[in-house]
Structure 1
Amino acid sequence: MLDKTISDARGKSVTIHAPGTVANMVCGFDVLGLALNEPYDVMTVKLIDESTVVIHNVDSYNLPTDPARNVAGVALLEMIEKLDRKTGFDITIEKRIKPGSGVGSSAASSAGAVVAANHLLGNIFNNDDLVQMAMFGEKLASGVKHADNIAPCIFGGVTLIRSILPLDIISVPSPLLYVTVVHPQIEVRTEDARQILKKQILLKDAIKQWGNIAGLVAGLMKNDYDLISRSLEDVLIEPVRSILIPAFAEVKARCLEAGALGGGISGSGPSIFMLSKDEATALAVENAMKEVYTATGIAYHTYVTTINPRGVKIIE
């Protein structure tokens, strides 16, 4: 049946939108993430008769076209290994999520590629399978397999990664939340941002962090905005990584003054995200971000969006 599905799909293509994501969600380092409605990458995949991956870039980022050096490529190579038949993929990638932005650029490429390919194959792999494949792209990008960007990109919404080995992903229901993101036009490489983290932490700090993670998940599930706000605190990662992001403390303070529930570093940075209850507050938060970065002279880009409940979107 699989051979017939592949045969019927030869030459056909599918186009998808792969969303940006916010990993960590302040206190949930490597275990929490959410999908954004904007920005997103656009990718088109088609099946070919060779067990290889052919990559075309239609953007200005000059990313590798060698599949072994491209995050989408290594994810698809892993899928080819699992297919164990003469089948490959031709993929065209339009990056609208800037690499190194902190909003899941590598995850969008990795996850988008495997979701599109799986669609052409008749959805023979489940979401957990796709996460496992896409994490090979994250390992290439950062040196570590992690799923806090990959999981929300594929599952949509907010996800909790309880475990990587074995993989255990839980979708977390949440109330309507607006997400404001500012991306200062500098690059912070995920691998570099990981290397500066402390290797040991105090037990009292770990306990506080666990409480915040549990409080954030409970707040999301109970639609309790006050609990969400109180739990958006990071005592482990943010104090270290924030030194890599110009004007971080001022941006955070001004956004809270504007009414944000809270927020912090998106992934490894340099983007900063803030959550709000309503669009008017989210726009006020955006204005605060703009005022800070305009005064610094650093180029920036902002987004005001909402949580994407579906993840990668099939356009056909």
Structure 2
Amino acid sequence: MIKIYAPASIGNINVGFDTLGISLSRIDKGILGDFVSIYSSKKFILINKGYFLDDLPKKSNENIIFHCWLKFCNKIGKKIPLKIILEKNIPVASGLGSSACSIVAFLKAINLFCNNPLNDNDLLQLMGESEGFLSGKIHYDNIAPCLLGGMKLVLVTDKNKLIIQNIPFFKNWFWVIAYPGIKLSTYCSRQILPNLYKKSIFIKQNQYLASFIHACHTQQEILASKLMQDFIAEPYRKSLIPDFEKISLIAKKFGALNYGISGSGPTLFSIFNNLNFAQNMVNWLKKNYLKNNKGFVYICIINKIGTQIMETK
């Protein structure tokens, strides 16, 4: 038996569309991620549990875990019968790397269960392919930080080789995340983006991303926060987010260094370097942004560990 925990994550973080992401931990030590447990079995069995159980498909063969299992078995050339328990603690289509949590936890678990037939690069690529199965586009900005922790910049070369860079982060930053309780699929959020952009937009985005990375390495906190701008996705996706402009103004009022859409939304994040200011933002969001009892607001820091082995027998 093997049990794995994979944490939630924020992709893009405004300035790094499809390339930059962070792993999250709640400061109150509560769970913000998925657990996957696997056991020997005579056939494939998938059992779903967790607070967001109802978000998952009713049929096992429609669950991303099933597709990951098929991909892994095809990769190593044999079928591995397993009993799998997925504890779903991250809402689906929330912008918090929900699919990455399940994908990373399961593939890490089955690879370990089979004595690691896939090396780290092959395993990461398989995780990215599985993520692309859902969103329609392979991207690693949730996968890499979910697996490895921290803030990660992920580049994919023309030979499909992954280059993953650790980016220094600001340890005094508190990330307030607010999930309203409604779904917004990554696929739909990608569909709203234009097929073509002006060259000036890409130049500007690249300038900001390069400068942000430099500011992180040189620990220029204020400069880094100002450079977290999104010229590619936010101008289009903000129309899908309830009261985005209003919440942006409130975040500024409460002293946020910056704010934005977590991944493809509808979760929003705002960054503070003062815990009291962050708590004020939490209190306002709980009263004004949550749409139902499935919604939540947490203060987080960057998770330096990533995916963890919780139990082996």
Structure 2 unaligned blocks of 5 or more: 27-31
Instruction: Please say if residues 76 and 117 of structure 2, whose CA atoms lie closer than 8 Å, have aligned partners that are also in contact.
Output: no
Paired amino acid for 2:135: S
Query: Deviating runs (4+, > 6 A) in structure 1?
Result: none
Aligned to 1:79: 72
Alignment partner of 1:54 out of 45, 68, 79: 45
Pairs within 5 Å for 1:222-301: 222-293=218-289, 300-301=295-296
Tell me: CA distance 1:216–1:288, structure 2 relative to 1, closer, same or farther (3 Å).
farther
TM norm structure 2: 0.88
**TM-fit CA distance, 1:109:** 0.5
State the SS of the aligned residue for 1:61. Answer: helix
The change in CA–CA distance for 1:310 and 1:204 in structure 2 (over 3 A counts) is same
Identity of aligned residues (%): 31
Are the structure 2 counterparts of residues 86 and 186 from structure 1 closer, same or farther at C-alpha, using a change threshold of 3 Å?
Answer: closer
> Deviations along 1:178-235, whole A, 9 cap, x unmatched?
2110111111111111111011111222111111111222222222211211111112
Question: Equivalent residue for 2:129?
Answer: 136
Counterpart in the other structure of 1:28? 16
**Structure 1 gap segments, 5+ residues each:** 1-12
Contact 1:69 1:140 (C-alpha < 8 Å) held by counterparts: no
Structure 1 distance, partners of 2:211, 2:42, is 50
Q: In 1, Cα distance between the equivalents of 2:23 and 2:254?
A: 24
- Please give the alpha-carbon distance, in whole angstroms, between the structure 2 residues aligned to 1:62 and 1:271: 16
User: Which whole-Å CA distance do the structure 2 matches of 1:125 and 1:281 have between them?
Assistant: 45
Structure possessing the higher relative contact order (Cα contacts under 8 Å, 6 or more residues apart): 2
The answer on whether the counterparts of 2:55 and 2:91 sit within 8 Å (CA) in structure 1 is: no
Please identify, of 32-41 and 101-110, the stretch whose mean Cα deviation from structure 2 is larger.
32-41
Match of 1:117 in 2: 110
Query: In structure 2, how many angstroms separate the alpha carbons of the residues matched to 1:86 and 1:16?
Result: 21
Q: Is the 8 A contact 2:176 2:297 kept in 1?
A: yes
* 1:141 CA displacement: 1.6
In 2, distance between residues paired with 1:263 and 1:238?
A: 11
**Aligned pairs, number:** 300
Q: Distance in 2 between matches of 1:288 and 1:172?
A: 31
Corresponding position: 1:306 with 2:294: no
Distance in 2 between residues matched to 1:274 and 1:126, nearest whole Å: 36
Across the aligned residues of Structure 1 and Structure 2, the Cα RMSD in angstroms comes to 2.1
Label 1:48 to 1:192 Cα distance change in 2 as closer, same or farther (>3 A). same
Distance 1:67 1:147 in 2: 25
